[in-house]
Structure 1
Amino acid sequence: MSSTALNRRAFLGSAAAIGVAGLALPGRAQEFDPNTGQPSYDAANGATPDAGMVQYDNEGDQRHNISSFRTQDWRPYFTNLTNGAILCDITSRAVHFWSEDGNTYRVYPSSIPVSKDLTRLGRTEIIKKVEGPSWAPTPAMKKSNPAWPDFVPPGPDNPLGTHALWLSWQYYRIHGTHDTRKIGRKSSNGCIGLYNEHIKELFGFANIGTQVLLI
């Protein structure tokens, strides 16, 4: 087996161990990493990283906010709907979308950054849309985790899921995830994650230049 394959396997295995520590999922046999003694799952079972190191704030509030977010009006947040508008509400862990003509409105449950220091708030916009995105660690991530692969191609192992929307802030994305346990949780290094079926729909609605506000 090549060193690249070993690094990739170690990367996914360590991410899985962090992501499911102390969590036994119904209907699935629990597996353990022989090196750490921690629970782990392979990537085929949905244990993939989220735009970098998979993190769950085990000491924090891990409630799923899917039932608690509410509809919003765009006017308190945007002066107009030119190119459409996306509001990422970190508190309610929800992403809101309004089309330019105001006729289409959607709200989706989301994952959010695991800590305040990884959370960036403010205004940005969509600068790139990618179906079947690849993933590469940031320089800081690679420095902290040298065994991680330099590149993960599109597919079920990819931390960006099936679709990704690039923001004007470097390294920040709104993207999908194959690990559905992340949605409604503090579980990312800064990106906003959606279920794959939801990011696919949002991907279809959003345009280059769509306004984005994180609050």
Structure 2
Amino acid sequence: MDRYATVSQAADRPVSGLELDNRQLLGVREAGLQRRVSGFAARRWQDHFVSLNDGAILVDTNARALHFWSGDGQTYKIYPTSVPLTEDMTRRGRTSIVRKRVGPDWRPTPNMLKRDPSLPAYVGPGPQNPLGTHALYLSWQYYRIHGTNDTRKIGRRASNGCIGLYNEDIAELFDRATVGMQVLVV
């Protein structure tokens, strides 16, 4: 169960229906939820990594957000993600990017085929590819940070283990990320 209430407000002018009054905020607190001013809470890289070296990626599966820091510490980005469907599909810990690919091809994992034998054996690059337009391959077998051909998945528990991003976000991250970059999934 999510423990956060997302509260968005317009930056330059009020938008009708988006403001929360004190009664609504009290209801959020009584429900045991924490209030965030935006959809994502900013993070400090120092809380998760010893150094930035070639940059760092933190994937927060609870918040469904990916945090990126450049190696020089000058660039910090947050991207909304999809995360694995269940806890047992979720791998946590430290890994790294071992390969990058534009136009990845896709094959279901053995476990995916057990759950759904009707899956195609192979999907080449293109609009029907579940990995979207770009993929960052992690040192863990079968795990990737990639785009998606189904944008409804972003912000949800919807993947078979990978971290999914909008295609425009993975394209931007792909250009910034390097092979060897440290990744932490929490």
TM-score (normalised: structure 1): 0.68
Do the aligned residues in 2 keep the contact of 1:130 with 1:163 (CA within 8 Å)?
yes
The secondary structure found in structure 2 opposite 1:75 is helix
Do the aligned residues in 2 keep the contact of 1:64 with 1:183 (CA within 8 Å)?
no
Larger mean CA deviation between 114-123 and 136-145 belongs to 136-145
| Percent identity (aligned) | 59
**Alignment pair present for 1:166 and 2:137:** yes
Counterpart of 2:48 in structure 1 is 77
The secondary structure found in structure 2 opposite 1:201 is helix
Counterpart of 2:95 in structure 1 is 124
Do the aligned residues in 1 keep the contact of 2:112 with 2:160 (CA within 8 Å)?
no
The secondary structure found in structure 2 opposite 1:177 is coil
Aligned-partner Cα distance in 2 for 1:183–1:137: 20
Do the aligned residues in 2 keep the contact of 1:64 with 1:185 (CA within 8 Å)?
no
Aligned-partner Cα distance in 1 for 2:119–2:62: 31
- The Cα RMSD (Å) is 1.7
List per-residue Cα deviations over 1:124-169 (Å, max 9, x = no partner): 0000000000000112222443332211000010000000000000
The one-letter amino acid paired with 1:122 is G
Counterpart of 1:94 in structure 2 is 65
Aligned residues: 155
Aligned-partner Cα distance in 2 for 1:209–1:101: 15
**Alignment pair present for 1:202 and 2:157:** no
Quick one: which of 113, 124, 131 aligns to 1:153? 124
Do the aligned residues in 2 keep the contact of 1:134 with 1:154 (CA within 8 Å)?
yes
Which protein has greater RCO, CA pairs closer than 8 Å, 6+ apart? 1
Counterpart of 2:11 in structure 1 is none
1:79, CA displacement in angstroms?
Answer: 0.1
What does residue range 1-215 of structure 1 map to in structure 2 within 5 Å?
67-215=38-186
Q: Which runs of 5+ in 2 are unaligned?
A: 9-37
